[in-house]
Chains A and B, each alone.
Chain A
Amino acid sequence: MHLYHVTLQPPTHINQVVLGKFSGTKVQEMVLARSSRLELIRPDPDSGKLLTVLTHDVFGTIRSLAAIRLTGSSKDYIIVGSDSGRLVILEYNPGANRFDRVIMETFGKTGIRRTVPGQYLAADPRGRVLMVAAPEKHKFVYMLTRDANSVLAISSPIEAHKAHTLVFDCVALDMGFENPVFACLEVDYGEAEDRPDEPVDKVLTYYELDLGLNHVVRKWSDTVDRDANLLVPLPGRALVDAVPEGPSGVLVCSKNYITYRHQDVPAHRVPIPQRTPTKEDRGVLIVAAAVYKSKGTFFVMLQSEVGDLYKLTVDYEGDQVTDLCIQYFDTVPTAVGLCILDNGCLFVASEFGNHMLYQFEQLGDNDDVPQYHSSKSDESDPLAPTVLEPRELTNLAPIDEMESLAPLLDTTILNLANEDTPQVYALCGRGAQSSFKVLRHGLEINEIAVSALPGHPQAIWSTKLTATDPYDSYIVVSFTDATLVLAIGETVEEVTDSGLLTNKPTLVVQQIGPNALVQVHPQGYRLIQADKRVSEWRPPAHQVVTHAVANERQLVLGLSSGEVVYFELDATGQLAEFDRTTEFGEDITALSLALAPPGQQRTPFLAVGLADSTVRIISLEPHNCLDALAMQALSDVPSSLCLVEMADRETDPHLTTLYLYTGLRNGVLIRTSVDHVSGQLAETRTRFLGSQPVQLCRVVTNGVPAVLALSSRPWLSYVYQSRTRLAPLAYEALVYAGAFRSEPCAEGLVAIADDTLRILNVERLGTPLNQAAVPLQCTPRRTIHHPVHNQFVVYETDHLPDGTPGSATNPAWTSCLRIINPLSGETSWMHQFDPDEAAFGMGLVIFSSEATEPASPLILVGAARGFSQTTQKSLAAFIYAFRFNADGTTLELLHKTEVDEIPRVIIPFQGRALVGMGPLLRIYDLGKRKMLRKCQSRAIPNSIVTLQAVGSRIIIGDLQESIHFALYRPQENRIAVFADDTLPRWITATHLLDYNTVAGGDRFGNLFVLRLPTEISQKIDNDATGNLLYHEKGYLQGAANKLTPLAHFYVGDTITSLQRATLVVGGREVLVYTTLLGAIGALIPLTSKADVDFFQTLETHLRSEAPPLCGRDHITYRSTYVPVKAVIDGDLCEQFALLATSAKDGIAEDLDRTPGEIAKKIEDMRTMYAF
């Protein structure tokens, strides 16, 4: 068995964010780390929304990011601390839109280890040095210089190690051009071991790099609060005699206090305003901070863990701080990183839930919230009564939201809405940000305007009036017997003086030449000059124009006789008819011309679709004008054609490929590449779009051409980061559409749907899934679909960190159960469990002991009261039994049974309930007053987390000890484990692939497939006595038989659900996984040996030709815990598209194929099985 791994949706959470000018222009950008992906985003200068410029999978875990700018330069470099044991410095290359690795320096072992640096990064604000530190002991300082060719170079590492020292945070101070200093928050645990009776101090230590001696010294060290967790460096002075921009030094954030510390100056301390006083030992923790400098002043934005923002200002005279002033600012989602941009925006990279971009409305100067000053705070009463009222946003206004699924806790993939493809029903978010999300494959559409049109419009165009116009002026709508012309301004209004004929339908409208407009109608064309002079052309008698196509310099008309007439713009601005026509003897069904290449007279090819189910490429060059160059036979009559130059070779943006898109009457879209010189057709890709004939329209996305294909559903074929993608739009079916350029919407679409005019905008081209969310009350844990009534049952459980387990007044848990309709999103029923009770498991079971018709399913919920997370013990555990009412919209509580352990997993099993509770596996039947225990097994070592049943076989996933196969024998009423795994795996999700094969995912991010050998399976099943089951001698301290691993793969993120699903129409089933951090991926089974060989060879080549950017070896990354086995990484294969042409050719030669064929094969894997 071989599997092919593709990521359907990359992780959506952000674990690091850094602000800088990475393009080297004035535009501020942000680099995000999403576990193994680097992403560059920038706010769109027009709309202010966030644009994803580039994402790149580095095949390694990114742990820290920093930006550094060399003195005198205007461009920031990106420093990456990852699990590669290497220091990597990247440069963003805006021309080619990629990250280039400038420096890679090995300093330690690979992997995320205690003493290997990479966890902390600090870069000197003047760009001279950087420090990379580990959680314990190791710290390296590197000096940055430029070599003779002004290329970035770094020195050998200078060690600043200190044994037995834990680092809590590490920042670089702003020391101007004096010796660079790094501040670290440290604890020496060696002292704690030597002198166990004394309290351990946390110290703030300054490490100074003596630039003259190339040596790091511990310059200063002083005790700070024991619970300090974060350092915020303050600005300093650039030069000794310059006006200081700040006092330098650091803010030490600890629970409840902010303290200013610096060498040789007095400390200043200010309390953090907090909501209702928290438990004594909890305090308020600062989780994120951002310093904003402007024109010699600065302020600090701090965020507490509940999301409250504080503005902190520092008064200083010379280098001496006189006062710290803190005030409550606003409340936003809790962040992992804050960025204050120069354009007055605040980017909040949320730890869970959607990431937000806010605009500063004001800086809190006129706020009436109390301010707290360090100069006035009283040391004798350290916890000042700093009560804070959280309020609606006052100082900030949201502008944009980046959707995030993290934490993604459970999913179900089903087609409940009866669409072409199934929907993903996902439980996302935590606490108050929890939601039930419906994800669909499709690009999100922003509807800008909808306006009604009279009659039944057939086609629509939007056109400018002169070649130099930046925006469109007219929208032209064609009806069966008339044409409507609308002018675009503040409002859209009908115009009558456009010169266009309005009493005839229009076949095409095109701006042509420098400032003319051409309109084609069935009785000829009409060329309207800027001064409204009109010239017309009529077809020969008894013929009408049936099809027309035009670009800026050329016009082609298809006549009812099957002839094609060709016109070209001459020097006088008139259209000159080519003196020969060509006849095909078949009806013309479609025509297409590419756009005229800039600076050239014409595009050399015309595509003609004919009723004999062929498409032909016709030359338009003068020497062989209207000669056929190539022909392609099709499966049906072409209904629409589109020739378009796609910029899908981003290694060189000027290299484009000419593609012929053919839409067929049977709903199939064909894409063929056209040779630029000979016009020959090659590399055909076919895709079924829907039941309607395909209509194609040329549009623009991200500044490059794209094609909109309209069938029973609209699709967009576009180029995104060197990959051509075809994705449906999350919108209703469109009749006709075209590109629309206006000031507020530079890349819009104008379309007809439902006899109305729509102006639309495609958003977030990089996000293949669009989402609809239903808010929930607290963190959803698991969901079950009720197949008869189409309802989802969800239970939500939250731990309250302030609470005490077992206390009724201050409970530690809150939990509820609800029924959600997946289509309407409405909650039809909800049950709040008693305070301090928490639901931990749920199952939908139909009991055979109940002789009701039709069978009525029960929801069983496993719950615990007074559960303590530290001891993992509860005061009591229960199974709740709920019964559905007749229409499945509500549940009724039948009874509550007290049990010994917390039931974490419940499944139906032979008309009874199989319950995994801690290490116990039990079978329960339904009684009148309580659940009745029927059978028990104690064969599982730790705690049962997943159960699957097939026949009498039970597949058990243990918390730590991987998968166990067990058999239930009704004769003896006994459950016995007969096979287990040889590796300890911390199972989080399992899915049964067949009777003997199970796929699973674990907490550390591994995906694996295990199989019970067939002979053992048969032996156990055929054993009538049960002797093999009960009396076989155990092997390797476990069951007698062992499972064989078939496949193993490291995903890099905790697996939260696994299931089989068919993701595309007519495709085969794939194994879909979801991860905690919001990624969705699929494992596609490869069916032929040839494919396996091909992809394995390709993968090997790519590992050497395109080694991962951050220095982690691809094969060792995918083998982080267990060597990768029988899984090919499609994500790596897809990086083939990013290679330089020479590298592609080299690989292609080795594989005995052309680069185009390889690209097609990689693309096919996605389009055939996934998206």
Chain B
Amino acid sequence: MNNAAAQDAQIAQARFVGTGDAETTKYQWLSNQHRDTYASLIGHPNLLSYMAVAENESLARCRLNLLEKMVQPCGPPPPAEDA
């Protein structure tokens, strides 16, 4: 890989949350996917309402639950593998 491409990748990783690299684990990737999804559900009024009607909860509680899930969407991280 040339230098410029590596630099671009570094810039992307610094600027955009969730940009992966060779070291990204499955857990990190999946957590990012979930966080993106939850953020989209919170931001679209129709999707939040859809969920609120299904669960019969208030919009505020649905939003809070989704935000709370964004903290650790896939549970605690797996123990680090010893090299």
Could you pull out 17 A-B pairs where Cβ atoms are within 8 angstroms?
Answer: A13-B49, A35-B45, A61-B44, A113-B40, A114-B36, A135-B43, A189-B70, A189-B71, A193-B72, A193-B77, A288-B60, A336-B59, A407-B53, A430-B52, A431-B56, A801-B55, A1053-B46
- Residues on A with C-beta less than 8 A from B71 are 166, 187, 189, 192, 200
Within 8 A of A (CB), among B30-61: 35-36, 39-40, 42-47, 49-50, 52-61
- Residues on A with C-beta less than 8 A from B35 are 114, 136
Interchain nearest-CB distance for A852 vs B (Å): 39
Query: What is the total number of residues of chain A having a CB less than 8 Å from a CB of chain B?
Result: 56
**Does A1054 lie within 8 Å of B46, measured CB to CB?**
yes
**Does A136 lie within 8 Å of B53, measured CB to CB?**
no
**A135-B67, A192-B72 known; A406 and B17 CB under 8 Å?**
no
For residue A305, CB closer than 8 A to chain B, the reply is: yes
A246 to B36, CA, bound (A): 39
Chain A interface helix/strand/loop/mixed: loop
Interface string of A347-371 (1 = CB under 8 A from B): 0000110000000000000000000
**Does B46 lie within 8 Å of A196, measured CB to CB?**
no
**Does A285 lie within 8 Å of B64, measured CB to CB?**
yes
- Residues on A with C-beta less than 8 A from B36 are 113-114
**A196-B77, A801-B56 known; A1077 and B46 CB under 8 Å?**
yes
Interface string of A11-29 (1 = CB under 8 A from B): 0010100000000000000
- Residues on B with C-beta less than 8 A from A208 are none
Interchain nearest-CB distance for B31 vs A (Å): 8
**Does B56 lie within 8 Å of A800, measured CB to CB?**
yes
Interface string of A64-86 (1 = CB under 8 A from B): 00000000000000000001000
Interchain nearest-CB distance for A9 vs B (Å): 16
- Residues on B with C-beta less than 8 A from A229 are 60, 63-64
* Chain A residue at minimal CB-CB distance from B60: A287
A115 to B39, CA, bound (A): 9
* Chain A residue at minimal CB-CB distance from B59: A351
* Chain B residue at minimal CB-CB distance from A288: B60
* Chain B residue at minimal CB-CB distance from A135: B39
Top 3 A-B pairs ranked by shortest CB distance?
A112-B43, A114-B39, A287-B60
* Chain B residue at minimal CB-CB distance from A228: B64
**A285-B61, A351-B59 known; A137 and B17 CB under 8 Å?**
yes
**Does A115 lie within 8 Å of B17, measured CB to CB?**
yes
Interchain nearest-CB distance for A283 vs B (Å): 10
**A113-B36, A166-B70, A192-B72 known; A798 and B46 CB under 8 Å?**
no
**Does A1076 lie within 8 Å of B70, measured CB to CB?**
no
- Residues on B with C-beta less than 8 A from A1076 are 46, 49-50, 53
Interchain nearest-CB distance for A661 vs B (Å): 41
Q: Which of B17, B42, B49, B55 has the most CB of A within 10 A?
A: B49
- Residues on A with C-beta less than 8 A from B18 are 114
**A285-B61, A334-B58 known; A352 and B53 CB under 8 Å?**
yes
**Does A799 lie within 8 Å of B56, measured CB to CB?**
yes
**Does B46 lie within 8 Å of A1075, measured CB to CB?**
yes
* Chain B residue at minimal CB-CB distance from A163: B17
For residue A1037, CB closer than 8 A to chain B, the reply is: no
* Chain B residue at minimal CB-CB distance from A429: B53
For residue A230, CB closer than 8 A to chain B, the reply is: yes
- Residues on B with C-beta less than 8 A from A285 are 58, 60-61, 64
**Does B17 lie within 8 Å of A1052, measured CB to CB?**
no
A3 to B36, CA, bound (A): 33
Pick the contact of A112 from B16, B44, B56, B76 — CB < 8 Å? B44
A1053 to B50, CA, bound (A): 10
Interface string of A265-288 (1 = CB under 8 A from B): 000000000000000000001111
Since A115-B17, A336-B59 are in contact, a sample of 11 more A-B pairs with Cβ atoms closer than 8 Å, ordered by chain A residue number, is A13-B45, A61-B43, A118-B43, A189-B71, A192-B71, A192-B76, A200-B71, A229-B60, A352-B53, A801-B56, A1003-B47
- Residues on B with C-beta less than 8 A from A287 are 58-61
- Residues on B with C-beta less than 8 A from A801 are 55-57
Residues of A within 8 A of B (CB): 13, 15, 35, 61, 63, 83, 112-115, 118-119, 135-137, 163, 166, 168, 187, 189, 192-193, 196, 200, 227, 229-230, 285-288, 305, 334, 336, 351-352, 406-407, 409, 430-431, 779, 798-801, 869, 1003-1005, 1052-1054, 1075-1077
- Residues on A with C-beta less than 8 A from B57 are 305, 801
- Residues on B with C-beta less than 8 A from A1077 are 45-46, 49
- Residues on B with C-beta less than 8 A from A189 are 70-72
Interchain nearest-CB distance for B28 vs A (Å): 9
* Chain A residue at minimal CB-CB distance from B71: A189
**Does B17 lie within 8 Å of A136, measured CB to CB?**
yes
- Residues on B with C-beta less than 8 A from A227 are 64
Interchain nearest-CB distance for A190 vs B (Å): 10
**A166-B70, A1077-B45 known; A114 and B50 CB under 8 Å?**
no
* Chain B residue at minimal CB-CB distance from A409: B53
- Residues on A with C-beta less than 8 A from B76 are 192, 196
**Does A83 lie within 8 Å of B17, measured CB to CB?**
no
Interchain nearest-CB distance for B56 vs A (Å): 4
* Chain B residue at minimal CB-CB distance from A1079: B46
Interchain nearest-CB distance for A741 vs B (Å): 41
**Does A407 lie within 8 Å of B49, measured CB to CB?**
yes
Interchain nearest-CB distance for A65 vs B (Å): 12
* Chain A residue at minimal CB-CB distance from B73: A189
* Chain B residue at minimal CB-CB distance from A1120: B44
**A112-B43, A192-B71 known; A779 and B49 CB under 8 Å?**
no
- Residues on A with C-beta less than 8 A from B52 are 351-352, 430
**Does B54 lie within 8 Å of A63, measured CB to CB?**
no
* Chain B residue at minimal CB-CB distance from A14: B45
**Does B45 lie within 8 Å of A61, measured CB to CB?**
yes
**Does A305 lie within 8 Å of B60, measured CB to CB?**
yes
Pick the contact of B45 from A15, A196, A869 — CB < 8 Å? A15
* Chain B residue at minimal CB-CB distance from A285: B61
A15 to B49, CA, bound (A): 10
- Residues on A with C-beta less than 8 A from B44 are 61, 112, 1004-1005
A136 to B44, CA, bound (A): 16
* Chain A residue at minimal CB-CB distance from B18: A114
Interchain nearest-CB distance for A167 vs B (Å): 8
**Does A1054 lie within 8 Å of B55, measured CB to CB?**
no
Q: Which of B46, B54, B58 has the most CB of A within 10 A?
A: B46
Interchain nearest-CB distance for A673 vs B (Å): 41
- Residues on A with C-beta less than 8 A from B53 are 352, 407, 409, 430, 779, 1076
**Does A799 lie within 8 Å of B54, measured CB to CB?**
yes
**Does B67 lie within 8 Å of A1052, measured CB to CB?**
no
A1077 to B44, CA, bound (A): 11
**Does A798 lie within 8 Å of B70, measured CB to CB?**
no
Interchain nearest-CB distance for B47 vs A (Å): 7
- Residues on B with C-beta less than 8 A from A119 are 42-43
- Residues on A with C-beta less than 8 A from B40 are 112-114
- Residues on B with C-beta less than 8 A from A61 are 43-45
**Does A230 lie within 8 Å of B60, measured CB to CB?**
yes
Interchain nearest-CB distance for B43 vs A (Å): 3
* Chain B residue at minimal CB-CB distance from A167: B67
A406 to B17, CA, bound (A): 35
* Chain A residue at minimal CB-CB distance from B76: A196
Interchain nearest-CB distance for B67 vs A (Å): 6
**Does A168 lie within 8 Å of B45, measured CB to CB?**
no
